Amino acid sequence: MSTAQALDELRAKLESSFGKAMAMMVLAAASNSLGIPTMDLSADEFHRLAKAVCDDQRVKDMWGTAGAIETADQWCRLVA
């Protein structure tokens, strides 16, 4: 799967849990903390972004630490 498609799946999962506005805030915070844009991501950048999103305390609070780790792993497997 392309990183663009994987990012769409990541966004959709965040939006289903947090709503569009909060999902965008979580994604922007992760992107800014890494200093990478959310467009034209390499596979490595996508993996780092997915892990950063799931390391966000709001995500851990919503999904639990184990759920966040599992979701990060699932997202990382989307992009080889």
Please state the pTM of the whole predicted model.
0.93
How many other CB atoms sit within 10 Å of the CB of residue 59?
Answer: 24
Q: Residue 56: which pLDDT band, with cuts at 50, 70 and 90?
A: very high
C-alpha span between 29 and 23 (Å, rounded) = 10
What tokens does 47 get? 């993996």
- Average pLDDT value over all residues in the chain: 96
Q: What is the mean pLDDT of residues 44-56?
A: 97
What percent of the chain clears pLDDT 70, i.e. is strictly above it? 100
Sorted by where each begins, the domain ranges of the chain are 3-78
pLDDT, residue 24, reads 97
Burial class from Cβ neighbours inside 10 Å (0-12, 13-18, 19+) for residue 23 reads buried
| Amino acid 80: pLDDT | 76
Is residue 51's pLDDT more than 90? Answer: yes
> What's the pLDDT band for 74 if we cut at 50, 70, 90?
very high
